[in-house]
C-alpha cells in the first residue's frame, strides 16, 4: 500500500513537468515577454526603454532557457524558465504582475473558497442521493417519469441563470440574504447561504440523474433480486444493499468532481463577491495578470492529480475486492 | 454580381461538417446495420420532437452561415447623407477596404451580412435609442421632450419604430396585438397545413394507400415514425414563428437592449454561435481523439504510454484555466498583430475558431480514453486476431474492423458533449474568455444584461430571451442525446 502510494506520487512528477512545459510554452514562447510588456503598457508608442524597465521590474528580462552571460549551472538557473516555472515545484509562486505575493494571497483566499465548496459538496451529495433513492423507490411510476423530466430540464439550464435567479429571488425580491459580499470569521455565514443554496440546486440535475442510473444498475443485479425474493423489505434492500454497493462509484465520482468544484466556484465566487481563489483567478484573467494565471494552472493540476491518487486509495478503503499492487 | 460571397473560416468548417454528415448519412442509408439504430431514433417520439426543434435551430444557424457583402449603389452609396464632398475623406477613415479597391468598378459594402440578416433586415435596422420593454410603445427611460409650444417636459418618449402605427397606444395596443397574433396564427396554420399535406402525399405514395387512410394512420400514431408527434411539433413551431414574425413587424417582441438593438434579432443571431461552439469543437477534436485513442489501444506498449501521458497531462490542467491562458495569449497576439485581420467580423470569427480549438483540446481526452479502452478490447477479439494471422496490415484492420466498431461511441460522445459546450460558452463569455465581445452570443447577452437586474423596474427581457432560446436548444439536445445513446449503445440495446 505504502509502496503503491509512493509510486503514484512519483508518477505525478512527469505529469507536472508536462503541465509546466505547456504553461511555459503558452506564456513565454507563443508570445515573447516583449509582447506581454507592450500589452501591459498600452498598445501604441511604447518605447523600448519602457519595455525593458517593465521586464526588469517583473523579472522577465532574462533569457528563456539558458543564460550565456552567466554560464555553467548558474546559466541554467538564472533564466525565465527556472525563475518562473521550475520554482513552482517548490510552491514558490513568486509575485504577481501587480507586485503582490501570490503564495500569501492563495493561503488567504483558500478559506472562503473552501467555505463554499465544502458545504455545496456535502449538502449536494446528501440531497442528490436521497432524491435518487426516492426516485428509485418509485421506479417505473409517474413519479419516476416526472422526476426524470424535471431533472433533464434542470440540467438544461445554464448555471448562470441559477445564480442570477437566486440572487434576484432570494436577495432582491424577498430580501432574505445579502446579494453578495463577504465578512471575516463566523460573520460570513449569512453571505454563504445563498451561494451554497444556488450551488446545490444547480447540481441537482446532473447529480441526481447520475445517481439514479447508478442505483438502477445496481438494482438490476442478481443479489438484489435474491434479497427481494426472500421477501426482504424494499426499504431495507435499498439502504442495506443497493445504497452501500452504489457508494463505490459515487465516492470515486465525488473525488473526480473535486477539481471541478474548483472551477465551479470560479463563477459563483465572482458573482457573489467572495474573496476566494475563484474570484482571484477571474480578477487575474480580466487584469491579464499572467503570473497569477500561471500559478493557478499549476496549482489546479497538482490538486487534480492529488484527487486521482485519493480516488485510488479510497477505492481500497470502501471496496475490499480492490487490491492495489 | 449584386453581392460578393464571404467565406469565413467557421463557415468553411460548417460546410465541411455538413458534407461529412451527408456523406455519412448516404453511407449509413446503404447499410442495414447502420440504419437500424437511426430507425430507433426516429421511431421514438422524444427523438422526433427534439429533432424537429434542433432542425429549426439548425436552419437559423445555417441561414446565418451564408455570408456576403452587398454591392453598393454607386450613386447612393453608404456614405449618403454625409455630403458628397467630405464623403471621400470619410471613406478613407472609415472603410479601409473600400479605399483599397477604389479603382475597382464596383464597391461592396464593408459590412459582412448573412442570409439571416437579410431575412431579419427589418429587425436589424429598426433601432431605438436605448432600452424598451417587450411590446412597448414608449422608451424605458425618461427623456426631455420638446413640446409644440416650446416648453420641455420629462417623459417617456414614443419609440421610433415599436408600435409607431398606433395613434393611441394605450387603447389600441392590446386589440392590435391580438389581431396580429391571430393573423400570424392563421398564416402559420396555412403553411403547416400545406406542409402536412405535402408530407401526407409523399407518405401515401410510399405506403401505396389513399391519402385518407394515411391520414388516419398518422393521426392514430400507427406509423413506424411517429409522424403525428413530428407534425404537432412542427405546427407548434410554425404557429409560434409566424405569430412572432407578424408581431415583430410592428413591435419589439422581446424589447430592445442598451443601445436600442432588437433583442429578438440578437438571440436569433446567437443561435449560430451556440451551434458552432457545440459542433465545431467536437469536429476539431475528433481526428486527434480517434487517431490517438485507437493507436493507444491497438498498438499498446510505448505508444500507449506516450499517449496516456499526453492526455493525463492535458487533463490535469483545469479546463477553464487552460482556456483562459490560451485566450489571453490570443488576445496578446491579436492586439500586437492588429493589421493581420481585415475586419472585425473576421477577427471575431478567428477568435471563435480558436475558442473551439481550445475547447476541443480540453475535451478530447475523455473521448480518447473511451476509444482507447474499447480498442484495447477489440484488439483481442477473434476476428481481429484472425485478420492478423492472415497477415492483414494494421491500417486495414483499423479501418475495417476497429474504427466501424467505435463509431457509436464517437456519435454518442458528440451528442452528449453538445449541450455542455453550449452551456460552457455562456460561462466563458461571462469570464471574458469566451467569444469576441462584438459577436452575438447568449453569453454576451447574459453578461450585458445581468447588471441591469439591479435597476428598478427590472430590465429582464434580454436575460429572458437568452434563457428561453438556450433552454430550448439545450433541452432538445439533451433529450436527443439520450435517445441517440439508447439507440446506439449495444449494452443498453440488449437490455431493451
Instruction: List the single residue in B317, B419, B482 with the smallest CB-CB distance to A22.
Output: B317
Q: What is the pLDDT of residue A72?
A: 66
Which residue, among A12, A34, A113, A156, would best test binding to B if mutated, counting the most B CBs under 10 Å from its CB?
A156
Query: In sequence order, which residues have a C-beta less than 8 Å from that of residue B385 and are 6 or more positions away?
Result: none
CA neighbor of B8 nearest in space, from B66, B48, B59: B66
3-state secondary structure of A246: helix
Mean pLDDT computed over every residue of chain A: 81
For residue B160, the model assigns a pLDDT of 76
**Contact between B471 and A156 using a beta-carbon 8 Å cutoff:** yes
Contact predicate B65/B14, CB 8 Å:
yes
What pLDDT was estimated at residue B387? 92
**Residue B241, H or E segment:** helix B227-248
In a domain, A28, yes or no: yes
Number of domains in chain A: 2
The C-alpha cell that represents B184 in the structure block: 400570424
| A–B interface: beta-carbon pairs under 8 A | 134
Nearest CB to A293 within list B325, B454, B482: B325
Give the gap in angstroms from C-alpha A67 to the nearest C-alpha of chain B.
25
Three-state SS for B108? strand
Whole-angstrom Cα distance, residue B161 to residue B62?
A: 28
Q: How far is B225 from B223, CA to CA, in rounded Å?
A: 5
Any B CB within 8 A of A38 CB: yes
CA proximity to A277, closest of A299, A247, A309, A256: A299
**pLDDT the model gives residue B90:** 43
Partner-chain residue, chosen from A35, A43, A286, that has the shortest CB–CB distance to B432: A286
Q: CA-CA distances (angstroms) from residue A219 to A133, A215, A260, B493?
A: 11, 6, 29, 18
State the cell numbers at B144: 426631455
pLDDT top residue among A312 and B375:
B375
Q: Cell for A173?
A: 425580491
Asked if A265 and A117 count as a contact pair (C-beta separation under 8 A), the reply is: yes
Q: Report which listed range, A91-100, A293-302, B232-241, is most confident.
A: B232-241
- Whether A302 and A226 map to the same domain: the answer is yes
Residue A109 and residue A61 in one domain: no
| CB of B461 closer than 8 Å to CB of B469 | no
**Nearest C-alpha in B relative to A171:** B454
The C-alpha atoms of residue B364 and residue B403 are separated, in whole angstroms, by: 17
Q: Across the interface, do B463 and A158 touch by the CB < 8 Å criterion?
A: no
In this prediction, residue B291 carries a pLDDT of 92
Tell me whether strands B143-146 and B152-155 are parallel, antiparallel or unpaired.
antiparallel
Query: What residues of chain A lie within 8 A of the CB of B362, using their CB?
Result: none
Listed residues A45, A64, A90: the one ending a domain? A90
Does A97 fall in a domain? Answer: no
Does residue A285 fall inside a structural domain?
yes
- Report the C-alpha gap between B158 and A119 in whole angstroms: 51
Kindly state whether residues A194 and A72 are assigned to the same domain: no
Å between B295 CA and nearest CA of chain A: 20
- Residue B112 distance to chain A (closest CA, Å): 27
Which positions of chain B have pLDDT values less than 70? 1, 73-106, 491-496
Are the Cβ atoms of A36 and B315 closer than 8 angstroms? no
Residue with C-alpha cell 436577495?
A171
| Number of other residues whose CB lies within 10 A of the CB of residue B190 | 12
Cβ–Cβ below 8 Å for A156 and B335: no
Interface residue of B321, B469, B470, B496 to substitute, partner A, most A CBs within 10 Å = B321
The tens digit of pLDDT for each residue in A197-248 reads: 888 998 899 889 999 989 988 888 899 999 989 998 888 888 888 888 888 8
Q: Are residues A142 and A194 in the same domain?
A: yes
Place of cell 388516419: B216
Q: How many Å lie between the alpha carbon of B271 and the closest alpha carbon of chain A?
A: 15
Q: Do residues A40 and A132 share a domain?
A: no
Say what the pLDDT of residue B92 is.
Answer: 44
Omega prior to B457 cis, within 30 of 0: yes
ipTM confidence score: 0.83
Given a contact cutoff of 8 angstroms between Cβ atoms, the answer to whether B484 and B41 are in contact is yes
Residue A96 falls within a domain, yes or no? no
Same-domain status, A56 and A171: no
Q: Is the minimum CB–CB distance between A143 and chain B shorter than 8 Å?
A: no
Question: Is residue A150 domain-shared with residue A273, that is, in the same domain?
Answer: yes
Which of these three, A66, A90, A114, is where a domain ends?
A90
Q: Can you list the domains of chain B with their CATH numbers?
A: 3-68+262-495 (1.10.3720.10), 169-248 (no CATH)
- Asked if A30 has any chain B CB less than 8 Å from its own CB, the reply is yes
Please indicate, yes or no, whether residues A194 and A141 belong to a single structural domain of this protein. Answer: yes
For residue B122, what are the contacts with CB-CB under 8 A and spacing of at least 6?
B248, B249
Nearest by CB to A266, which of B314, B315, B320? Answer: B320
Residue B145: strand pairing partners: B153
Which residues in chain B touch residue A26, judged by CB atoms under 8 angstroms apart? 325-326, 329
Least Cα distance to A244 among A122, A97, A129, A87 occurs for A129
The rounded distance, in Å, linking the Cα atoms of A155 and B416 is 12
Instruction: Single out the residue of A91, A124, A139, A321 nearest to residue A242, CA to CA.
Output: A139
Grid cell of B202 as nine digits: 409523399
Asked if residue A80 and residue A158 are part of one domain, the reply reads no
Q: Which residue has the cell 475490499?
A: A320
What residues of chain B lie within 8 A of the CB of A307, using their CB? none
Same domain, A7 and A121: no
Both A187 and A263 in one domain: the answer is yes
CB A194 within 8 A of CB A167: yes
Range of the domain at A303: 102-324
Asked if B316 and A15 touch (Cβ cutoff 8 Å), the reply is: yes
Q: Cβ distance B253 to B244 under 8 Å?
A: yes
Cβ neighbours of B132 (radius 10 Å)? 29
SS3 A97: coil
Q: d(Cα B158, Cα B418) in Å, to the nearest integer? A: 43
pLDDT at B154: 79
> What pLDDT, on the 0 to 100 scale, is given for residue B190?
93
Compare CB distances from A300 to B317, B430, B478 and report the shortest one's residue: B317
Domain C-terminal end among A90, A120, A153: A90
CATH of the domain at A200: 1.10.3720.10
Mutate to test the interface with A, among B320, B334, B424, B444 (most CBs of A within 10 A): B320
Q: Specify whether A108 is located in the same domain as A204.
A: yes
User: Which residues 156-195 of A have a C-beta within 8 angstroms of B?
Assistant: 156-161, 164, 167-168, 172
In this complex, the residue of B318, B328, B453 whose CB is nearest that of residue A285 is: B328
For B325-347, the pLDDT digits (tens) are 788 778 777 777 777 777 778 88
Mapped onto helix, strand or coil, the DSSP state of residue B243 is helix
pLDDT score of A49: 77
The Cα–Cα gap between A218 and A230 comes to 18
Which residues touch A126 (CB under 8 Å, ≥6 apart)?
A: none
Task: Answer whether B317 sits within 8 Å of A161, measured CB to CB.
Answer: no
Give φ, ψ of B434 to 5 degrees. -95, -140
The string of pLDDT tens digits covering residues A27-85 is: 777 767 777 777 777 656 677 777 777 777 777 776 666 666 666 666 666 677 776 77
Q: Name the residue in chain B with its Cα closest to that of A22.
A: B314
| CB-based contact A297 B482, cutoff 8 Å | no
Q: DSSP secondary-structure letter at B68?
A: E
B331/A26 CB distance under 8 A: no
Amino acid at each position: 500500500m505504502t509502496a503503491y502510494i509512493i509510486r503514484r506520487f512519483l508518477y505525478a512528477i512527469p505529469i507536472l513537468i508536462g503541465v509546466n512545459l505547456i504553461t511555459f510554452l503558452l506564456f513565454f514562447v507563443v508570445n515573447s515577454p516583449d509582447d506581454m510588456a507592450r500589452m501591459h503598457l498600452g498598445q501604441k508608442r511604447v518605447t523600448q526603454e519602457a519595455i525593458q524597465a517593465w521586464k526588469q521590474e517583473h523579472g522577465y528580462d532574462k533569457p528563456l532557457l539558458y543564460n550565456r552571460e552567466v554560464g555553467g549551472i548558474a546559466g541554467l538557473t538564472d533564466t525565465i524558465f527556472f525563475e518562473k516555472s521550475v520554482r513552482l515545484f517548490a510552491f514558490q509562486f513568486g509575485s504577481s504582475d501587480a507586485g503582490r505575493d501570490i503564495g500569501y494571497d492563495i493561503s488567504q483566499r483558500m478559506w472562503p473558497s473552501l467555505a463554499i465548496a465544502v458545504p455545496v459538496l456535502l449538502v449536494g451529495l446528501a440531497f442528490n442521493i436521497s432524491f435518487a433513492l426516492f426516485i428509485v423507490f418509485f421506479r417505473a411510476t409517474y413519479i419516476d417519469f416526472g422526476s426524470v423530466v424535471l431533472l433533464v430540464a434542470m440540467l438544461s439550464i445554464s448555471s448562470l441563470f441559477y445564480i442570477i435567479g437566486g440572487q434576484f429571488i432570494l436577495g432582491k425580491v424577498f430580501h432574505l440574504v445579502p446579494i453578495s459580499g463577504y465578512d471575516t470569521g463566523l460573520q460570513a455565514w449569512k453571505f454563504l447561504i445563498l451561494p451554497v443554496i444556488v450551488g446545490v440546486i444547480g447540481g441537482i440535475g446532473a447529480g441526481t440523474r447520475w445517481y439514479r442510473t447508478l442505483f438502477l444498475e445496481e438494482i438490476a443485479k442478481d443479489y438484489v433480486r435474491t434479497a427481494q425474493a426472500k421477501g426482504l423489505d424494499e426499504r431495507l434492500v435499498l439502504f442495506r444493499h443497493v445504497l452501500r454497493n452504489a457508494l463505490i462509484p459515487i465516492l470515486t465520482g465525488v473525488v473526480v468532481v473535486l477539481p471541478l468544484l474548483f472551477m465551479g466556484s470560479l463563477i459563483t465566487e465572482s458573482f457573489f463577491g467572495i474573496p476566494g481563489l475563484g474570484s482571484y483567478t477571474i480578477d487575474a484573467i480580466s487584469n491579464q495578470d499572467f503570473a497569477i494565471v500561471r500559478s493557478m494552472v499549476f496549482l489546479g493540476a497538482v490538486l487534480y492529480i492529488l484527487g486521482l491518487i485519493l480516488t485510488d486509495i479510497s477505492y481500497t478503503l470502501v471496496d475490499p475486492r480492490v487490491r492495489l499492487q | 454580381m449584386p453581392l460578393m460571397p464571404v467565406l469565413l473560416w467557421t463557415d468553411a468548417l460548417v460546410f465541411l461538417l455538413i458534407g461529412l454528415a451527408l456523406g455519412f448519412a448516404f453511407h449509413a442509408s446503404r447499410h442495414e446495420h447502420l440504419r437500424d439504430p437511426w430507425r430507433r431514433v426516429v421511431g421514438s417520439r422524444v427523438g422526433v420532437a427534439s429533432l424537429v426543434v434542433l432542425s429549426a435551430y439548425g436552419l437559423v444557424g445555417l441561414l446565418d452561415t451564408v455570408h456576403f457583402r452587398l454591392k453598393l449603389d454607386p450613386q447612393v452609396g453608404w456614405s449618403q447623407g454625409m455630403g458628397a464632398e467630405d464623403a471621400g475623406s470619410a471613406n478613407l477613415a472609415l472603410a479601409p477596404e473600400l479605399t483599397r479597391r477604389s479603382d475597382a468598378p464596383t464597391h461592396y459594402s464593408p459590412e459582412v451580412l448573412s442570409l439571416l440578416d437579410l431575412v431579419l433586415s427589418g429587425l436589424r435596422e429598426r433601432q431605438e435609442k436605448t432600452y424598451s420593454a417587450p411590446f412597448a410603445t414608449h422608451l424605458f427611460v425618461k427623456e426631455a421632450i420638446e413640446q409644440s409650444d416650446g416648453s420641455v417636459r420629462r417623459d417617456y418618449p414614443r419609440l421610433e419604430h415599436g408600435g409607431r402605427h398606433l395613434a393611441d397606444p394605450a387603447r389600441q395596443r392590446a386589440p392590435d396585438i391580438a389581431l396580429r397574433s391571430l393573423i400570424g396564427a392563421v398564416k402559420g396554420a396555412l403553411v403547416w397545413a400545406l406542409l402536412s399535406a405535402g408530407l401526407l402525399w409523399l407518405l401515401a405514395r410510399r405506403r401505396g394507400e389513399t391519402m385518407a387512410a394515411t391520414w388516419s394512420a398518422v393521426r392514430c400514431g400507427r406509423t413506424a415514425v411517429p409522424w403525428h408527434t413530428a407534425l404537432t411539433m412542427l405546427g407548434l413551431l410554425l404557429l409560434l414563428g409566424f405569430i412572432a414574425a407578424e408581431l415583430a413587424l410592428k413591435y419589439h417582441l422581446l424589447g430592445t437592449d442598451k443601445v436600442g438593438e432588437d433583442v429578438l434579432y440578437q438571440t436569433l443571431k446567437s443561435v449560430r454561435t451556440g451551434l458552432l461552439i457545440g459542433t465545431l469543437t467536437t469536429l476539431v477534436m475528433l481526428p486527434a481523439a480517434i487517431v490517438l485513442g485507437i493507436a493507444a489501444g491497438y498498438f499498446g506498449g510505448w505508444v500507449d504510454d506516450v499517449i496516456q501521458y499526453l492526455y493525463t497531462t492535458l487533463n490535469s490542467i483545469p479546463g477553464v484555466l487552460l482556456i483562459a491562458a490560451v485566450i489571453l495569449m490570443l488576445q496578446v497576439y491579436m492586439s500586437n498583430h492588429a493589421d493581420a485581420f481585415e475586419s472585425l467580423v473576421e477577427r471575431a470569427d478567428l477568435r471563435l475558431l480558436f475558442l473551439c480549438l481550445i475547447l476541443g483540446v480540453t475535451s478530447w481526452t475523455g473521448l480518447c480514453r473511451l476509444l482507447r479502452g474499447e480498442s484495447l478490447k477489440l484488439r483481442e477479439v477473434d476476428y481481429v486476431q484472425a485478420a492478423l494471422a492472415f497477415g492483414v496490415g494494421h491500417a486495414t484492420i483499423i479501418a475495417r474492423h476497429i474504427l466501424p466498431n467505435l463509431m457509436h461511441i464517437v456519435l454518442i460522445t458528440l451528442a452528449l458533449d453538445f449541450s455542455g459546450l453550449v452551456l460552457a460558452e455562456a460561462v466563458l463569455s461571462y469570464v471574458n474568455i469566451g467569444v469576441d465581445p462584438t459577436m452575438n452570443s447568449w453569453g454576451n447577452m447574459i453578461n450585458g444584461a445581468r447588471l441591469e437586474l439591479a435597476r428598478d423596474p427590472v430590465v429582464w427581457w434580454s436575460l429572458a430571451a437568452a434563457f428561453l432560446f438556450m433552454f430550448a436548444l439545450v433541452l432538445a439536445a439533451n433529450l436527443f442525446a439520450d435517445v441517440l445513446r439508447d439507440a446506439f449503445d449495444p449494452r443498453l440495446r440488449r437490455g431493451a
